[in-house]
Structure 1
Amino acid sequence: MAEGLRERKKRQTKQRISDIATGLFLEHGFVTVTVAEVAEAADVSVNTVYNYFPVKEDLFLDRGEAVVDRLSGYVRGRREGESAAAAVLRALRQDVEGVSPHVGLFPGWADFMKVITEAHALRSRLWEIQQQALGHLTKTLAEEAGAADGDPMPGLIAGQLSWVHSTLMAWIGDEMTKCRKPAEVSRDVLVLLDEMEDLLGEKVLNYAVRGAE
Protein backbone atom coordinates (compact mmCIF):
# COMPACT_ATOMS: atom_id res chain seq x y z
CA MET A 1 0.00 0.00 0.00
CA ALA A 2 1.36 3.40 -0.99
CA GLU A 3 2.13 5.81 1.81
CA GLY A 4 -0.43 8.62 2.00
CA LEU A 5 0.47 12.30 2.26
CA ARG A 6 -0.60 12.49 5.91
CA GLU A 7 1.44 9.43 6.88
CA ARG A 8 4.47 10.72 5.01
CA LYS A 9 4.31 14.10 6.73
CA LYS A 10 4.01 12.43 10.13
CA ARG A 11 6.97 10.17 9.39
CA GLN A 12 9.05 13.13 8.19
CA THR A 13 8.14 15.19 11.26
CA LYS A 14 9.04 12.33 13.58
CA GLN A 15 12.39 11.83 11.83
CA ARG A 16 13.17 15.56 11.92
CA ILE A 17 12.48 15.77 15.66
CA SER A 18 14.66 12.71 16.29
CA ASP A 19 17.50 14.04 14.12
CA ILE A 20 17.47 17.41 15.91
CA ALA A 21 17.33 15.72 19.32
CA THR A 22 20.22 13.41 18.42
CA GLY A 23 22.33 16.38 17.37
CA LEU A 24 21.64 18.12 20.68
CA PHE A 25 22.38 14.99 22.70
CA LEU A 26 25.65 14.41 20.85
CA GLU A 27 26.72 17.99 21.49
CA HIS A 28 25.51 18.51 25.06
CA GLY A 29 24.77 15.07 26.50
CA PHE A 30 21.48 13.26 27.04
CA VAL A 31 20.91 14.29 30.65
CA THR A 32 21.60 17.98 30.04
CA VAL A 33 19.20 18.50 27.14
CA THR A 34 15.51 18.77 28.03
CA VAL A 35 12.49 17.78 25.95
CA ALA A 36 11.46 21.44 25.96
CA GLU A 37 14.79 22.37 24.36
CA VAL A 38 14.29 19.70 21.71
CA ALA A 39 10.80 21.02 20.99
CA GLU A 40 12.08 24.58 20.68
CA ALA A 41 14.90 23.57 18.33
CA ALA A 42 12.45 21.56 16.20
CA ASP A 43 9.88 24.39 16.26
CA VAL A 44 7.13 22.17 17.65
CA SER A 45 5.31 21.97 20.97
CA VAL A 46 6.41 19.75 23.84
CA ASN A 47 3.14 17.84 23.45
CA THR A 48 4.00 17.15 19.81
CA VAL A 49 7.34 15.68 20.85
CA TYR A 50 5.63 13.40 23.37
CA ASN A 51 3.01 12.39 20.81
CA TYR A 52 5.79 10.92 18.67
CA PHE A 53 8.12 9.87 21.49
CA PRO A 54 6.33 8.92 24.75
CA VAL A 55 9.65 8.77 26.61
CA LYS A 56 12.73 10.93 26.21
CA GLU A 57 15.00 7.92 25.65
CA ASP A 58 13.24 7.07 22.38
CA LEU A 59 14.30 10.42 20.93
CA PHE A 60 17.82 8.99 20.80
CA LEU A 61 17.05 5.29 20.45
CA ASP A 62 14.38 5.93 17.83
CA ARG A 63 14.92 2.71 15.90
CA GLY A 64 13.98 0.42 18.76
CA GLU A 65 11.16 -1.33 16.87
CA ALA A 66 13.47 -2.16 13.97
CA VAL A 67 16.10 -3.51 16.36
CA VAL A 68 13.53 -5.68 18.13
CA ASP A 69 12.53 -7.32 14.84
CA ARG A 70 15.96 -7.47 13.18
CA LEU A 71 17.04 -11.03 14.04
CA SER A 72 13.49 -12.30 13.70
CA GLY A 73 13.36 -10.79 10.22
CA TYR A 74 16.52 -12.62 9.26
CA VAL A 75 14.98 -15.89 10.45
CA ARG A 76 11.69 -15.35 8.61
CA GLY A 77 13.62 -14.53 5.43
CA ARG A 78 15.84 -17.61 5.47
CA ARG A 79 16.28 -19.49 2.23
CA GLU A 80 15.20 -23.01 1.33
CA GLY A 81 17.51 -25.47 3.08
CA GLU A 82 18.87 -22.73 5.37
CA SER A 83 18.61 -22.89 9.16
CA ALA A 84 17.69 -19.99 11.42
CA ALA A 85 21.29 -19.62 12.60
CA ALA A 86 22.67 -19.76 9.07
CA ALA A 87 20.30 -17.01 7.99
CA VAL A 88 21.32 -14.78 10.90
CA LEU A 89 25.02 -15.37 10.30
CA ARG A 90 24.64 -14.72 6.58
CA ALA A 91 22.80 -11.44 7.16
CA LEU A 92 25.33 -10.27 9.74
CA ARG A 93 28.21 -11.09 7.40
CA GLN A 94 26.53 -9.11 4.64
CA ASP A 95 26.18 -6.09 6.94
CA VAL A 96 29.80 -6.37 8.05
CA GLU A 97 31.14 -6.86 4.53
CA GLY A 98 29.07 -3.90 3.37
CA VAL A 99 30.44 -1.76 6.24
CA SER A 100 26.85 -1.05 7.23
CA PRO A 101 25.79 1.53 9.84
CA HIS A 102 23.31 -1.12 11.05
CA VAL A 103 26.20 -2.81 12.86
CA GLY A 104 27.93 0.37 13.98
CA LEU A 105 30.48 0.57 11.18
CA PHE A 106 30.52 4.32 10.69
CA PRO A 107 32.79 7.07 12.07
CA GLY A 108 30.17 8.57 14.41
CA TRP A 109 29.45 5.30 16.24
CA ALA A 110 31.91 6.10 19.03
CA ASP A 111 30.18 9.41 19.74
CA PHE A 112 26.78 7.70 19.64
CA MET A 113 27.85 5.09 22.19
CA LYS A 114 29.44 7.74 24.41
CA VAL A 115 26.03 9.37 24.85
CA ILE A 116 24.55 6.02 25.88
CA THR A 117 27.31 5.07 28.31
CA GLU A 118 27.02 8.44 30.07
CA ALA A 119 23.25 8.17 30.62
CA HIS A 120 21.80 5.49 32.90
CA ALA A 121 18.32 5.97 31.41
CA LEU A 122 19.62 5.20 27.91
CA ARG A 123 21.50 2.13 29.09
CA SER A 124 18.34 0.87 30.77
CA ARG A 125 16.27 1.52 27.66
CA LEU A 126 18.83 -0.24 25.47
CA TRP A 127 18.75 -3.27 27.79
CA GLU A 128 14.95 -3.25 27.58
CA ILE A 129 15.09 -3.20 23.77
CA GLN A 130 17.53 -6.12 23.81
CA GLN A 131 15.22 -8.13 26.07
CA GLN A 132 12.26 -7.39 23.83
CA ALA A 133 14.29 -8.55 20.83
CA LEU A 134 15.18 -11.78 22.62
CA GLY A 135 11.55 -12.48 23.48
CA HIS A 136 10.43 -11.67 19.96
CA LEU A 137 13.08 -13.95 18.48
CA THR A 138 12.04 -16.78 20.78
CA LYS A 139 8.45 -16.44 19.59
CA THR A 140 9.53 -16.27 15.94
CA LEU A 141 11.67 -19.39 16.26
CA ALA A 142 8.85 -21.30 17.93
CA GLU A 143 6.49 -20.37 15.10
CA GLU A 144 8.98 -21.14 12.34
CA ALA A 145 9.99 -24.47 13.86
CA GLY A 146 6.44 -25.49 14.78
CA ALA A 147 7.56 -26.00 18.38
CA ALA A 148 5.10 -27.32 20.92
CA ASP A 149 4.04 -25.19 23.88
CA GLY A 150 6.61 -25.47 26.63
CA ASP A 151 9.41 -26.57 24.31
CA PRO A 152 12.58 -24.88 25.66
CA MET A 153 14.50 -25.06 22.38
CA PRO A 154 13.28 -21.81 20.80
CA GLY A 155 14.41 -19.89 23.87
CA LEU A 156 17.75 -21.68 23.97
CA ILE A 157 18.42 -21.04 20.28
CA ALA A 158 17.31 -17.43 20.60
CA GLY A 159 19.75 -16.96 23.45
CA GLN A 160 22.63 -18.25 21.35
CA LEU A 161 21.79 -16.09 18.33
CA SER A 162 21.31 -13.04 20.54
CA TRP A 163 24.73 -13.73 22.05
CA VAL A 164 26.28 -13.70 18.59
CA HIS A 165 24.61 -10.38 17.75
CA SER A 166 25.33 -8.64 21.05
CA THR A 167 28.94 -9.84 21.12
CA LEU A 168 29.47 -8.60 17.57
CA MET A 169 27.95 -5.20 18.37
CA ALA A 170 29.95 -4.82 21.58
CA TRP A 171 33.20 -5.73 19.84
CA ILE A 172 32.56 -3.29 17.01
CA GLY A 173 31.73 -0.59 19.54
CA ASP A 174 35.00 -1.14 21.40
CA GLU A 175 37.04 -1.05 18.20
CA MET A 176 35.31 2.02 16.81
CA THR A 177 36.03 3.95 20.01
CA LYS A 178 39.72 3.45 19.17
CA CYS A 179 39.15 5.67 16.10
CA ARG A 180 39.83 2.80 13.72
CA LYS A 181 38.60 2.94 10.14
CA PRO A 182 35.29 1.10 9.62
CA ALA A 183 36.73 -0.96 6.73
CA GLU A 184 39.58 -2.18 8.94
CA VAL A 185 37.20 -3.16 11.74
CA SER A 186 35.00 -4.91 9.18
CA ARG A 187 37.80 -7.28 8.17
CA ASP A 188 38.49 -8.22 11.79
CA VAL A 189 34.80 -8.70 12.56
CA LEU A 190 34.47 -11.25 9.75
CA VAL A 191 37.14 -13.33 11.49
CA LEU A 192 35.30 -12.91 14.80
CA LEU A 193 32.07 -14.11 13.21
CA ASP A 194 33.80 -17.25 11.93
CA GLU A 195 35.12 -17.95 15.42
CA MET A 196 31.69 -17.46 17.00
CA GLU A 197 30.11 -19.78 14.44
CA ASP A 198 32.68 -22.43 15.36
CA LEU A 199 31.49 -22.17 18.98
CA LEU A 200 27.86 -22.87 18.11
CA GLY A 201 26.72 -26.47 18.48
CA GLU A 202 25.09 -28.60 15.81
CA LYS A 203 21.65 -28.23 17.42
CA VAL A 204 21.89 -24.47 17.06
CA LEU A 205 23.29 -24.53 13.53
CA ASN A 206 20.67 -26.99 12.28
CA TYR A 207 17.58 -25.63 14.01
CA ALA A 208 14.54 -24.58 11.99
CA VAL A 209 15.88 -25.50 8.54
CA ARG A 210 13.45 -24.24 5.92
CA GLY A 211 12.03 -27.00 3.77
CA ALA A 212 10.95 -26.76 0.15
CA GLU A 213 7.85 -24.66 -0.42
Structure 2
Amino acid sequence: MSTIPDRHTRRRLATRQAISDAATRLFLENGFDHVTVDEIAEAADVGRMTVFNHFPRKEDMFFDRDEEGRAMLRAALRESVDGTSPIETLRRFAHELVEGPQPYLRFFAGSRKFVETVEASETLMARARAIRDEFAQVVAASLAECSQREPTDADTLLAANLLLSTWSVAFVQAHRIFRQREDASAAKAVFLDLIDKGTRGIMAAMINTPYA
Protein backbone atom coordinates (compact mmCIF):
# COMPACT_ATOMS: atom_id res chain seq x y z
CA MET A 1 0.00 0.00 0.00
CA SER A 2 1.46 3.39 -0.99
CA THR A 3 1.75 6.14 1.61
CA ILE A 4 1.28 9.87 1.16
CA PRO A 5 4.61 11.72 1.56
CA ASP A 6 4.82 14.14 4.47
CA ARG A 7 5.15 17.89 3.92
CA HIS A 8 8.93 17.89 4.18
CA THR A 9 9.23 15.11 1.62
CA ARG A 10 6.82 16.84 -0.74
CA ARG A 11 8.82 20.07 -0.52
CA ARG A 12 12.09 18.22 -1.09
CA LEU A 13 10.71 16.42 -4.13
CA ALA A 14 9.24 19.66 -5.49
CA THR A 15 12.60 21.41 -5.14
CA ARG A 16 14.37 18.52 -6.86
CA GLN A 17 11.88 18.60 -9.72
CA ALA A 18 12.22 22.38 -10.08
CA ILE A 19 16.00 22.05 -10.32
CA SER A 20 15.73 19.23 -12.85
CA ASP A 21 13.22 21.14 -14.98
CA ALA A 22 15.34 24.29 -14.98
CA ALA A 23 18.51 22.35 -15.79
CA THR A 24 16.90 20.38 -18.62
CA ARG A 25 15.50 23.54 -20.19
CA LEU A 26 18.91 25.24 -20.10
CA PHE A 27 20.72 22.14 -21.36
CA LEU A 28 18.38 21.76 -24.33
CA GLU A 29 18.52 25.47 -25.16
CA ASN A 30 22.25 26.05 -24.78
CA GLY A 31 23.96 22.66 -24.77
CA PHE A 32 25.04 20.75 -21.68
CA ASP A 33 28.65 21.93 -21.66
CA HIS A 34 27.67 25.61 -21.92
CA VAL A 35 25.47 25.68 -18.80
CA THR A 36 26.91 26.25 -15.32
CA VAL A 37 25.58 25.07 -11.98
CA ASP A 38 25.22 28.71 -10.93
CA GLU A 39 22.96 29.36 -13.92
CA ILE A 40 20.85 26.34 -13.00
CA ALA A 41 20.58 27.49 -9.38
CA GLU A 42 19.48 30.95 -10.49
CA ALA A 43 16.90 29.56 -12.92
CA ALA A 44 15.49 27.26 -10.21
CA ASP A 45 15.65 30.05 -7.60
CA VAL A 46 17.74 28.00 -5.17
CA GLY A 47 21.27 28.15 -3.81
CA ARG A 48 24.25 26.44 -5.43
CA MET A 49 24.59 24.00 -2.51
CA THR A 50 20.91 23.11 -2.76
CA VAL A 51 21.54 21.97 -6.33
CA PHE A 52 24.39 19.71 -5.19
CA ASN A 53 22.33 18.40 -2.27
CA HIS A 54 19.89 16.96 -4.81
CA PHE A 55 22.27 16.20 -7.69
CA PRO A 56 25.93 15.36 -6.89
CA ARG A 57 26.91 15.74 -10.56
CA LYS A 58 25.68 18.08 -13.26
CA GLU A 59 24.92 15.18 -15.60
CA ASP A 60 22.62 13.68 -12.94
CA MET A 61 20.23 16.57 -13.60
CA PHE A 62 20.02 15.57 -17.25
CA PHE A 63 19.57 11.84 -16.64
CA ASP A 64 17.31 12.36 -13.64
CA ARG A 65 14.98 9.43 -14.40
CA ASP A 66 17.49 6.62 -14.76
CA GLU A 67 16.72 5.24 -11.29
CA GLU A 68 13.03 5.13 -12.21
CA GLY A 69 13.96 3.12 -15.29
CA ARG A 70 16.00 0.68 -13.25
CA ALA A 71 13.07 0.21 -10.85
CA MET A 72 10.73 -0.53 -13.76
CA LEU A 73 13.13 -3.17 -15.11
CA ARG A 74 13.35 -4.87 -11.73
CA ALA A 75 9.58 -4.83 -11.35
CA ALA A 76 9.02 -6.24 -14.84
CA LEU A 77 11.23 -9.25 -14.12
CA ARG A 78 9.86 -9.84 -10.62
CA GLU A 79 6.27 -9.66 -11.80
CA SER A 80 6.68 -11.87 -14.87
CA VAL A 81 3.91 -14.34 -15.59
CA ASP A 82 4.57 -17.88 -14.39
CA GLY A 83 6.10 -19.96 -17.16
CA THR A 84 7.35 -16.94 -19.12
CA SER A 85 11.12 -16.82 -19.49
CA PRO A 86 12.94 -13.69 -18.29
CA ILE A 87 14.11 -12.94 -21.83
CA GLU A 88 10.56 -13.13 -23.19
CA THR A 89 9.36 -11.06 -20.25
CA LEU A 90 11.68 -8.22 -21.23
CA ARG A 91 10.57 -8.47 -24.87
CA ARG A 92 6.98 -8.00 -23.78
CA PHE A 93 8.07 -5.19 -21.46
CA ALA A 94 9.57 -3.37 -24.46
CA HIS A 95 6.24 -3.59 -26.29
CA GLU A 96 4.41 -2.26 -23.22
CA LEU A 97 6.80 0.69 -22.94
CA VAL A 98 6.29 1.68 -26.56
CA GLU A 99 2.52 1.68 -26.16
CA GLY A 100 2.51 3.31 -22.72
CA PRO A 101 2.81 6.90 -21.46
CA GLN A 102 6.35 6.57 -20.12
CA PRO A 103 8.86 9.06 -21.57
CA TYR A 104 11.61 6.53 -22.27
CA LEU A 105 10.38 5.46 -25.69
CA ARG A 106 8.43 8.45 -26.91
CA PHE A 107 9.47 9.91 -30.25
CA PHE A 108 8.76 13.62 -30.65
CA ALA A 109 10.64 16.89 -31.11
CA GLY A 110 11.65 16.97 -27.45
CA SER A 111 13.10 13.46 -27.48
CA ARG A 112 15.06 14.25 -30.64
CA LYS A 113 16.53 17.34 -28.97
CA PHE A 114 17.34 15.24 -25.89
CA VAL A 115 19.32 12.73 -27.97
CA GLU A 116 21.07 15.48 -29.92
CA THR A 117 22.11 17.14 -26.66
CA VAL A 118 23.63 13.87 -25.43
CA GLU A 119 25.49 13.33 -28.70
CA ALA A 120 26.96 16.84 -28.55
CA SER A 121 28.57 16.32 -25.13
CA GLU A 122 31.40 13.91 -24.31
CA THR A 123 30.40 14.14 -20.64
CA LEU A 124 26.84 13.06 -21.36
CA MET A 125 27.98 10.35 -23.75
CA ALA A 126 30.27 8.94 -21.05
CA ARG A 127 27.45 9.05 -18.51
CA ALA A 128 25.08 7.35 -20.97
CA ARG A 129 27.58 4.51 -21.38
CA ALA A 130 27.91 4.22 -17.61
CA ILE A 131 24.13 4.12 -17.22
CA ARG A 132 23.98 1.33 -19.79
CA ASP A 133 26.50 -0.66 -17.74
CA GLU A 134 24.51 0.04 -14.57
CA PHE A 135 21.35 -1.23 -16.26
CA ALA A 136 23.22 -4.39 -17.26
CA GLN A 137 24.12 -4.93 -13.60
CA VAL A 138 20.48 -4.43 -12.59
CA VAL A 139 19.33 -6.96 -15.18
CA ALA A 140 22.02 -9.44 -14.11
CA ALA A 141 20.99 -9.11 -10.46
CA SER A 142 17.30 -9.52 -11.34
CA LEU A 143 17.98 -12.52 -13.57
CA ALA A 144 20.06 -14.11 -10.82
CA GLU A 145 17.25 -13.53 -8.33
CA CYS A 146 14.75 -15.19 -10.66
CA SER A 147 16.95 -18.22 -11.24
CA GLN A 148 18.57 -18.49 -7.81
CA ARG A 149 22.01 -18.02 -9.35
CA GLU A 150 24.79 -15.60 -8.51
CA PRO A 151 24.90 -12.25 -10.38
CA THR A 152 28.48 -13.14 -11.37
CA ASP A 153 27.39 -16.41 -13.00
CA ALA A 154 28.68 -16.54 -16.61
CA ASP A 155 25.27 -17.31 -18.15
CA THR A 156 23.68 -14.53 -16.13
CA LEU A 157 26.22 -11.94 -17.23
CA LEU A 158 26.02 -13.04 -20.85
CA ALA A 159 22.22 -12.85 -20.91
CA ALA A 160 22.19 -9.43 -19.23
CA ASN A 161 24.73 -7.91 -21.58
CA LEU A 162 23.12 -9.38 -24.70
CA LEU A 163 19.81 -7.92 -23.58
CA LEU A 164 21.28 -4.47 -22.95
CA SER A 165 23.13 -4.53 -26.28
CA THR A 166 19.87 -5.34 -28.06
CA TRP A 167 18.00 -2.55 -26.31
CA SER A 168 20.81 -0.05 -26.94
CA VAL A 169 20.95 -0.78 -30.67
CA ALA A 170 17.16 -0.67 -30.95
CA PHE A 171 16.99 2.66 -29.10
CA VAL A 172 19.71 4.33 -31.17
CA GLN A 173 18.35 3.09 -34.50
CA ALA A 174 14.78 4.08 -33.65
CA HIS A 175 15.88 7.62 -32.87
CA ARG A 176 17.93 7.71 -36.07
CA ILE A 177 14.82 6.81 -38.06
CA PHE A 178 12.79 9.43 -36.23
CA ARG A 179 15.42 12.07 -36.95
CA GLN A 180 15.34 11.19 -40.65
CA ARG A 181 11.60 10.81 -41.13
CA GLU A 182 9.95 12.59 -38.18
CA ASP A 183 7.62 9.60 -38.06
CA ALA A 184 7.00 8.27 -34.55
CA SER A 185 5.19 5.16 -35.83
CA ALA A 186 8.15 4.22 -38.03
CA ALA A 187 10.55 4.74 -35.12
CA LYS A 188 8.47 2.52 -32.85
CA ALA A 189 8.27 -0.15 -35.52
CA VAL A 190 12.06 -0.17 -35.95
CA PHE A 191 12.58 -0.34 -32.19
CA LEU A 192 10.23 -3.30 -31.74
CA ASP A 193 11.51 -5.12 -34.81
CA LEU A 194 15.07 -4.98 -33.47
CA ILE A 195 13.94 -5.99 -29.99
CA ASP A 196 12.11 -9.00 -31.45
CA LYS A 197 15.07 -9.99 -33.64
CA GLY A 198 17.51 -9.59 -30.79
CA THR A 199 15.29 -11.59 -28.47
CA ARG A 200 15.21 -14.52 -30.88
CA GLY A 201 18.99 -14.47 -31.04
CA ILE A 202 19.38 -14.28 -27.27
CA MET A 203 16.89 -17.11 -26.77
CA ALA A 204 18.98 -19.28 -29.11
CA ALA A 205 22.21 -18.30 -27.36
CA MET A 206 20.81 -18.99 -23.90
CA ILE A 207 19.06 -22.30 -24.64
CA ASN A 208 19.38 -24.82 -21.78
CA THR A 209 19.73 -22.00 -19.24
CA PRO A 210 17.04 -20.69 -16.86
CA TYR A 211 16.71 -17.53 -18.94
CA ALA A 212 15.38 -18.89 -22.25
Q: TM-score, normalized by length of structure 1? A: 0.88
Which stretch shows the higher mean deviation, 3-12 or 101-110?
A: 101-110
Cα RMSD after superposing both structures = 2.2
State the Cα distance separating 1:207 from its structure 2 match. Answer: 4.9
Counterpart position of 1:54: 56
Which amino acid is 1:129 matched to?
A: I
Counterpart position of 1:131: 133
The number of aligned residues is: 210
Whole-Å Cα distance in 2 between the matches of residues 42 and 200 of structure 1?
45
Q: Deviations over 1:147-183 (max 9, x none)?
A: 1585311111111211221122111221222252212
State the Cα distance separating 1:55 from its structure 2 match. Answer: 0.6
Q: Deviations over 1:56-75 (max 9, x none)?
A: 11111111212334433321
Q: Does structure 1 conserve the Cα–Cα contact (< 8 Å) formed by 2:87 and 2:199? A: no
5+ residue gaps, structure 1: none
Counterpart position of 2:11: 9
One of 17, 22, 25 as aligned partner of 1:23:
25
Counterpart position of 1:144: 146
State the Cα distance separating 1:99 from its structure 2 match. Answer: 7.1
Counterpart position of 1:85: 87
Say yes or no: does 1:122 pair with 2:124. Answer: yes
Q: Structure 1's 149 and 70: CA in aligned 2 closer, same or farther, altered over 3 A?
A: closer
Within-5 A mapping of 1:35-184: 35-98=37-100, 100-147=102-149, 151-184=153-186
Which stretch shows the higher mean deviation, 40-49 or 165-174?
A: 165-174
Whole-Å Cα distance in 2 between the matches of residues 193 and 128 of structure 1?
21
Q: Which has the higher contact order (CA 8 A, sep 6+)?
A: 1
5+ residue gaps, structure 2: none
Q: Structure 1's 70 and 149: CA in aligned 2 closer, same or farther, altered over 3 A?
A: closer
Counterpart position of 1:187: 189
Q: Structure 1's 208 and 184: CA in aligned 2 closer, same or farther, altered over 3 A?
A: same
Q: TM-score, normalized by length of structure 2? A: 0.89
Question: What secondary structure sits across from 1:62 in the alignment?
Answer: coil
Q: Does structure 1 conserve the Cα–Cα contact (< 8 Å) formed by 2:88 and 2:199? A: no
